[in-house]
Amino acid sequence: MSTTPTAPAGAATHQWRGVIEEYRDHLDLPAGTVAVTLGEGGTPLVRSEWLSETGQAEVWLKVEGQNPTGSFKDRGMTTAISVAVHEGAAACVCASTGNTSASMAAYAAKAGLTPIVLVPSGKIAAGKMAQALVHGAQVIQVRGNFDDCLRMSRGLADHYPVALVNSVNPVRLEGQKTASFEIVDRLGDAPDVHLLPVGNAGNISAYWLGYKQYAERGRATRKPVMRAFQAEGAAPLVTGRVFPDPETKATAIRIGNPASWRLADAAAAESGGGFAALPDERILAAQAELARRDGVFVEPASAAGVAGFLQDLEQGISYAGRQVVVTVTGHGLKDTATALEWFGEVPQVVVDADIEAAAKAAGLV
């Protein structure tokens, strides 16, 4: 007979409620804001034996692809949409390379708002476009890049009754900083180093904000060094110059003029960290190795932190004995076309319905 204790019939047990309700006391939101939530946050922190052994460190992956729409954007979108509803908005707008549009469309659907999405024409992965369309977004393709789309989104918000929910909206960072809280709550303190990809630069800014606040409130004894990585074809934070025509296979970070540039520079400088650039080949190779070694499938941009860790080691930067967290920002199913392109032709192994034939094809005999 089982002796496992169970809750009385009809009694509620605590389940994850989304980042607003879990961390409301640490969020700067208008009083009385009702959470529009899909249960975002509470994502896994997975130890990477591969990276830990390679770097003689303790390396953890913050797997943000486990959020409801498959990326970290949901953390900021729950706060942005909740405040938009609180302030009476009927519509919302964003510029996007894909993940923001997918997230905004889902949360807008939940809230009953009209979502308007501006994307660079032909520069968005099919999986992300499908998400936005299925959730009911009005998708407008722009002959230009992400920076053009963001400029237009700002203009629409300035002159029409729509809420801008890109990360230039500070409420977005309030939601995104909760990832730092979760890491500290899980590990018992902040890590020594935090690595992540950077595109529009809101995420590094949000993580740093969260780490600082937890330290100030006595929830952490230290703050990590923040290191962020860009693709060589879209590396304004590394080079200090705008990329008017950014290009990379890592579409989520294909941004040439980050909106949160100043905040990202501050996060890197204050933490003693910095930025580095990676060739696409390294990013795609890290994506494949992460899936094969740790069982974590991420979209290309999400592997930039992993690729950066490996590049740092090759360049003589030591992580030995240190606790490291690497944020992987979005699920690999966001962009299957690039993954299949990297691996080449899909294997066409076809056998008869015969056990021995299958064994032979699998190399078992």
Tens of pLDDT, residues 230-286: 999 999 999 999 999 999 999 889 999 998 999 999 999 999 999 999 999 999 999
pLDDT, position 122? 81
Q: Write the CA distances from 31 to 79, 307, 354, integer angstroms.
A: 13, 42, 66
pLDDT, position 22? 98
pLDDT, position 184? 98
Distance CA 305, CA 311 (A): 10
Tens of pLDDT, residues 66-116: 999 999 999 999 999 999 999 999 999 999 888 999 999 999 999 999 999
308 half-sphere exposure, CB direction, 13 A CA radius:
30
pLDDT, position 156? 95
pLDDT, position 98? 85
Do 313 and 50 touch, CB atoms closer than 8 A?
no
* Residues sharing a CB contact under 8 Å with residue 110, sequence separation 6 or more, in sequence order: 36, 37, 38, 81
| DSSP code at position 34 | P
Tokens, residue 279: 């060739």
Distance CA 38, CA 54 (A): 37
Distance CA 149, CA 162 (A): 15
- Output the pTM of the full model: 0.92
pLDDT, position 4? 58
Which residues of the chain, if any, have pLDDT below 70? Answer: 1-9, 345
Distance CA 332, CA 193 (A): 24
The count of other CB atoms within 10 Å of the CB of residue 5 is 5
Q: Determine the straight-line distance between the first and last CA of the chain, rounded to whole angstroms.
A: 45
pLDDT, position 168? 87
Q: Burial level of 293, CB count in 10 A (0-12/13-18/19+)?
A: middle
pLDDT, position 347? 72
SS (H, E, C) 282-315: HHHHHHHHHHHHHCCCECHHHHHHHHHHHHHHHC
244 Rama class: left (phi>0) / alpha (psi -120 to 50) / beta: alpha
Across 6-77, the runs of DSSP E, i.e. the strands, are 45-47, 58-63
pLDDT, position 1? 47
pLDDT, position 293? 97
